[in-house]
Amino acid sequence: MPVIEPDLLRNIPLFALLDDMEIAELSTQLDEKQFLAGQVIFSTADEGGTMFVVQSGRIELFIHDANNEYVCLGFVEPGDLFGELSLLDNERRSAGAKAVENTTLYVVDRHDLEMLVKSHPPAALDMMAMLGKRIREADILVRDRVVSRNVNAELPISNTFGERLSDILTRIAGDIRFVYLNLFWFGAWIFVNTHIIPKLKPFDPFPFGLLTMIVSLEAIFLSLFVLISQNRQTAREKVRNDIEYSVNIKAELEIRELRQQIDDLQQLLLGHLSKLNTNLTASGTTPNTLDKTPSSYAE
């Protein structure tokens, strides 16, 4: 395990107040790891037990929600720490982390943490402050993040008697059984009032004035109730259109973000290949090339 330079540890706020002996001892205990830009350090549900302190570079913390959407929880800058929750409770990782830039990390395990807290008790408060900051950022993210909206949840449930009655009558009038009931009722009314059966005295003889009035009133009230239901349906459609518009905007932004990530990945890959080529050239090793002999050009 390579020994970390004590002067580098003094640039980290978590270790800044340690004396020379404590810094020297801690530098022999900590591990140093380096990650390339875009490289995943750990993922959700990975084994924990360690935390990391950023010496240089930048780290992004992320999770995937119930819809498997990528959610950025924030960024960790040089001098900050992350992964402390898994170190404290010995549980699996609750989030993932990846390097945004070429990054150097110090790995702190439980033994290193005990040594740090014993020699420098305020370090525990620093960790608690960082954990509290992370929780506050997560609270703000959850509060402000809107994933989806339900049309039925956006509009209040019908509470007034008129709205409930209009919904009930609209459902009844839209049923085929209501048509059959009206046909049977009209037929029976006309049959009774046409004096087909001599013993039955018509109470609404032709031209059925009472039936005409009842049917007109039925049509008027059903039309009014249908219009009320249509107005409420129009309100639902307006909310649905707003939701669809928001979804389309979100999809467009995610496509742009995906395009940007592809471009960033291309630049990272080109940068890594260029760095690798530079290292090979500096070491006197050149990439393999095709042996071009005169016979290779012969037809």
Domain identity same for 104 and 201: no
Q: Which among 110, 144, 178 is the end of a domain? A: 144
How far is residue 17 CA from its own chain's centroid?
40
For 266-297, the pLDDT digits (tens) are 777 777 777 777 877 777 665 554 444 444 44
Cα–Cα distance measured from residue 86 to residue 96, given in angstroms and rounded to the nearest whole number: 12
Residue keyed to tokens 């049959």: 191
For 13-48, the pLDDT digits (tens) are 767 667 777 777 777 778 889 998 888 899 888 888
Range of the domain at 179: 151-282
Domain identity same for 160 and 224: yes
Q: Is residue 101 part of a domain?
A: yes
Domain identity same for 21 and 109: yes
> Which residues are CB-contacts of 157 (< 8 A; sequence separation ≥ 6)?
none
Q: pTM here?
A: 0.52
Cα–Cα distance measured from residue 204 to residue 210, given in angstroms and rounded to the nearest whole number: 6
Q: Is residue 287 part of a domain?
A: no
pLDDT at 154: 53
Domain identity same for 110 and 184: no
DSSP, collapsed to helix, strand or coil, labels residue 103 as: strand
Is the pLDDT assigned to residue 176 strictly greater than 60?
Answer: yes
Instruction: Provide the 8-state DSSP code for 2.
Output: P
Domain identity same for 21 and 68: yes
Buried b vs exposed e over 6-22: b needs ≥16 C-beta within 10 Å? bebbeebebbeebeeeb
Q: Which among 102, 118, 144 is the end of a domain? A: 144
Domain identity same for 13 and 125: yes
The answer to whether residues 231 and 170 touch, using CB atoms and an 8 Å cutoff, is: no
Q: How confident is the model at residue 59 (pLDDT cuts 50, 70, 90)?
A: very high
Domain identity same for 140 and 10: yes
Q: Is residue 188 part of a domain?
A: yes
Cα–Cα distance measured from residue 129 to residue 127, given in angstroms and rounded to the nearest whole number: 5
Domain identity same for 82 and 158: no
Domain identity same for 135 and 236: no
For 97-128, the pLDDT digits (tens) are 999 888 999 888 888 777 777 777 776 776 67
Q: Is residue 296 part of a domain?
A: no
User: Average pLDDT for residues 1-21, to the nearest whole number?
Assistant: 70
Q: Is residue 278 part of a domain?
A: yes
Question: 158: exposed, middle or buried (C-beta count within 10 Å: 0-12, 13-18, 19+)?
Answer: middle
DSSP, collapsed to helix, strand or coil, labels residue 71 as: strand
Cα–Cα distance measured from residue 128 to residue 108, given in angstroms and rounded to the nearest whole number: 16
Alpha-helix residue ranges (DSSP H) falling in the chain: 6-10, 20-29, 84-89, 110-119, 122-144, 151-154, 161-173, 176-193, 209-282
Q: Is residue 291 part of a domain?
A: no
Domain identity same for 109 and 184: no
Which CATH number covers residue 63? Answer: 2.60.120.10
Domain identity same for 173 and 85: no
Q: Before 287, cis peptide (omega within 30)? A: no
Note the residue count of the chain: 299
Domain identity same for 140 and 174: no
Q: Could you give the angle at the alpha carbon of 197 between the alpha carbons of 195 and 203, nearest 5°?
A: 45
Q: Is residue 125 part of a domain?
A: yes
Q: Is residue 295 part of a domain?
A: no
Q: How confident is the model at residue 299 (pLDDT cuts 50, 70, 90)?
A: very low
Q: Say what angle helices 176-193 and 209-282 make with each other, to 10 degrees.
A: 170
Q: How many domains does the chain have?
A: 2
Cα–Cα distance measured from residue 119 to residue 102, given in angstroms and rounded to the nearest whole number: 31
Q: How confident is the model at residue 157 (pLDDT cuts 50, 70, 90)?
A: low
For 213-227, the pLDDT digits (tens) are 988 988 888 888 888
